[in-house]
Structure 1
Amino acid sequence: MHEGPRLDSCNVTAVCCVNISKVLIENHSLVYLSLSTNKLLDDGVKLLCEALGNPECSLERLSLESCGLTEAACRDLSQALISNNRLTHFCLAYNNVGDNGVKLLSDALEHPQCTLQSLVLRNCHLTPRGGEYLSTSLLHNKSLTHLDLASNGLMNDGTKLLCNVSCDLTSDLASAIVNCPNLWSLDLGNNRLENEGVKILCGALRHPDCNIQCLGLQNCDLTFGCCQDLSSSLLSNQRLLQLNLTKNIIGYEGIRDLCEVLRYPECSLFLFRLCKGKTDKESSKLLEAVGVSNPHLVIKSHYDYHPEEDGSWWQCF
């Protein structure tokens, strides 16, 4: 299938979007377009959305990563997500859309005509309020399978008040992933979940209606204290296949708890990421033993990551 051009970092501006919009309508074989790292700004996206709303537009995947967009662009984008039933993959990473922008997108996700399957909102300047909007929309959405919320301010900053907000938000997300059976890939990396947040998520992972297969928890301020909850989830959840714990200091105790489960061939996990390059000798021995007793499990660190590898579900797009 002809995918289409990547116009990343090509000095594309809002003026150029007039011609791009015409192509989107006239070229029915164009199903993929990446305009990342261009100064499209809100005015450019408004022009693109006019084309996206046209029934002649066949675009299925669109990346607008780092295009200088704000809340204003989300109003047009939300309408496009409703009117365009072909668009299934959308990346809005590294744009300052904020909570109000995400509220508009969340409203679109709740609409029965929205067919979006993958939504990337990495580093979009969200707070717990934005996370709550998304959690609510997931309860009504029937098509979304992949959600990337990495690198947002979704969690607490150490104060008691924000910690309570964090726990409430995590509870909302936990409820959403149980009640959204199509959601199988969730990246929450680079948010301050902490052990308490993971404890709440693990309760959802153990629920029989949870279908999460890929979970990103990299750099979430986790310690060994969350590993018993994760181990319990790995025992009871036969759907979880990939888990990313890189850039968390879980130590020997955490690795020990996880290895108790990972060493069994019955464990369904086949890709496990952690900072194994920094583990001590005893931890390394445990991981080596796991590799022998459970040969189908692949254990990697963030040093092993290659963007082109298959299954790199934590990529932006």
Structure 2
Amino acid sequence: MADTQTSRDEDFSPGCSLSDCGVTDKDCAALTSVLRSNPSNLRQLDLSSEKLGDSGVKLISAVLEDPQCKLDTLGLFDCGVTDEGCAALTSALRSNPSHLRELNLSKNKIGKSVSLLSDVLQDPHCKLERLWLSNCGVTDEGCAALTSALRSNPSHLRELNLFGNKIGKSVNLLSDVLQDPHCKLEILWLWDCGVTDEGCAALASALRSNPSHLRELNLAGNKIGNSVNLLSDVLKDPHCKLEKLCLNDCGITDEGCAALTSALRSNPSHLRVLSLSENKIGKSVNLLSDVLQDPHCKLERLQLNRCEITDEGCAALTSALRSNPSHLRGLDLSGNKIGDSLSLLSAVLEDPHCKLEILWLNDCGVTDEGCAVLASALRSNPSHLTELDLIVNNLGQSGVKLLSDLKDDPNNKLETLYY
């Protein structure tokens, strides 16, 4: 997943994106001069991947502290911001805290300044809803300051991204925020944060006591395989509203997958996206298939990249999709050697009730023969699949031609093709 920030707002407020445009300090000075002369119109500014450094951020901060400034979205991903620049930014936000809704500071070395940012968050006038701090060098100390601020002002923040910060020991503190009934956090990313079984237990306990707000939880890259049972208890709760769950590379085994699928069978109607990639759960795909064939299941995206799925598991999966074909929109089976089962998967695709839009079969052992079966299915049901990934497969000239002809067919909806 790319760690860049795009606004989820669906309005048409004025915005300016200069991401990765080679903006210099001189350019930034000219830009901020314009913004100071007319600060009330611009709502969104994205300067991600520009090497603004602290000098550029200080110029931006001068705009933000103007009471006429109405900026609600600011992207500073990978801008070379340090503690000095972050101090200027937070000072500006303290003097004018009520407009900014979305702030992306990911991939800047500002870990020591998280306490200053926390001062902004605990201001009752602060309306920040989305905060991205991935790969910022946030420590347990910084996380403690952050969670303390959220406890004192828990009702505004909707999205928090701490991806790539080693704060596993502080997940207990974050869990205290989640169990606050006033907490409105909907999206939480703790990907590769060093979360352990103990931290996962605290997190699960918090979600059991306050299950109704969190919509998306990302715990990828944390070795919490033994604690999936605890998370499964959360999913069983009828009040749980979790829609997206990412458990990539979490050390989940067949036992953990069994607990997870049991929970989804008892409460199948909320989860829309499930990612179990890079876990050794090939033998448990049959259990997951039982979930998929439940008519109440609303799963729209399923990621099973490099899960050691065999032809037998693929057969169970496709059987389930044939019995309940209308919900799944995206399926990732990359890195599983299922080339011999492509005819079964093709039978799903040619079903007129199938609504699959995205299919990833990267490195699946697909040959020209399998490609022909796949192309035939898509010709018979051309209206849904828009993206197909067949990179790193054994495709010859005949397979490539079949796919190219398919993409060029005006009756087919295939827009993106990788091979």
Under a length normalisation based on structure 2, what TM-score does the superposition of the two structures give?
0.60
Aligned amino acid, residue 20 of structure 1 = L
Q: Give deviations 1:166-219, integer Å, cap 9, x for gaps.
A: 344334544565648554333333x32421354444444445554432233333
Given that 2:257 and 2:281 are in contact with CA atoms closer than 8 Å, whether structure 1 keeps it comes out as: no
Instruction: Provide the residue aligned with 2:280 in structure 1.
Output: 250
What are the within-5 Å matches in structure 2 for residues 224-235 of structure 1? 224-234=254-264, 235=266
What are the within-5 Å matches in structure 2 for residues 111-150 of structure 1? 111-127=123-139, 130-131=142-143, 133-135=145-147, 137-139=149-151, 140-150=153-163
Change (3 A) 1:142 1:293: farther
Instruction: Provide the residue aligned with 1:9 in structure 2.
Output: 20
Change (3 A) 1:130 1:215: farther
Consecutive unaligned residues of structure 2, counting only runs of 5 or more, are 1-11, 170-192, 335-357, 361-385, 387-419
Aligned amino acid, residue 109 of structure 1 = L
- 2:142 and 2:228 map into 1 onto residues whose CA distance is 19
Given that 2:97 and 2:120 are in contact with CA atoms closer than 8 Å, whether structure 1 keeps it comes out as: no
Query: Pairwise CA RMSD of aligned residues?
Result: 3.5
Aligned amino acid, residue 35 of structure 1 = L
Q: Give deviations 1:221-276, integer Å, cap 9, x for gaps.
A: 43334323422443337433222233x22322332332232321212332222217
Given that 2:268 and 2:291 are in contact with CA atoms closer than 8 Å, whether structure 1 keeps it comes out as: no
- SS of 1:141's equivalent in the other structure is coil
Given that 1:149 and 1:188 are in contact with CA atoms closer than 8 Å, whether structure 2 keeps it comes out as: no
- 1:257 and 1:154 map into 2 onto residues whose CA distance is 34
Aligned amino acid, residue 195 of structure 1 = G
Which of residues 45, 69, 86 is equivalent to 2:57?
45
Aligned amino acid, residue 240 of structure 1 = L
- 2:32 and 2:211 map into 1 onto residues whose CA distance is 34
- SS of 1:5's equivalent in the other structure is strand
What are the within-5 Å matches in structure 2 for residues 165-314 of structure 1? 166-174=196-204, 179=210, 182-189=213-220, 191-207=221-237, 210-234=240-264, 235-236=266-267, 238-246=269-277, 248-275=278-305, 279-295=309-325, 296-301=327-332
Instruction: Provide the residue aligned with 2:113 in structure 1.
Output: 101
Given that 2:250 and 2:279 are in contact with CA atoms closer than 8 Å, whether structure 1 keeps it comes out as: no
Change (3 A) 1:165 1:148: closer
The alignment covers a number of residue pairs equal to: 298
Deviates more, 1:41-50 or 1:204-213: 204-213
- 1:149 and 1:120 map into 2 onto residues whose CA distance is 7
Given that 1:141 and 1:180 are in contact with CA atoms closer than 8 Å, whether structure 2 keeps it comes out as: no
Given that 2:223 and 2:249 are in contact with CA atoms closer than 8 Å, whether structure 1 keeps it comes out as: no
Of structures 1 and 2, the one with the larger relative CO (CA 8 A, separation 6+) is 1
Deviates more, 1:75-84 or 1:39-48: 75-84
Q: Return the offset for 1:30.
A: 1.8
Given that 2:106 and 2:136 are in contact with CA atoms closer than 8 Å, whether structure 1 keeps it comes out as: yes
- 1:120 and 1:219 map into 2 onto residues whose CA distance is 22
Given that 2:49 and 2:79 are in contact with CA atoms closer than 8 Å, whether structure 1 keeps it comes out as: yes
Change (3 A) 1:176 1:283: same
Given that 2:90 and 2:116 are in contact with CA atoms closer than 8 Å, whether structure 1 keeps it comes out as: yes
Given that 1:122 and 1:151 are in contact with CA atoms closer than 8 Å, whether structure 2 keeps it comes out as: yes
Instruction: Provide the residue aligned with 1:67 in structure 2.
Output: 79
Q: Give deviations 1:38-79, integer Å, cap 9, x for gaps.
A: 111233223212222222112222111111123344334444
Q: Return the offset for 1:37.
A: 1.0
Given that 2:195 and 2:222 are in contact with CA atoms closer than 8 Å, whether structure 1 keeps it comes out as: no
Deviates more, 1:285-294 or 1:5-14: 5-14
Consecutive unaligned residues of structure 1, counting only runs of 5 or more, are 157-162, 310-317
Given that 2:197 and 2:224 are in contact with CA atoms closer than 8 Å, whether structure 1 keeps it comes out as: no
Given that 1:126 and 1:153 are in contact with CA atoms closer than 8 Å, whether structure 2 keeps it comes out as: yes
Change (3 A) 1:197 1:101: farther
Under a length normalisation based on structure 1, what TM-score does the superposition of the two structures give?
0.76
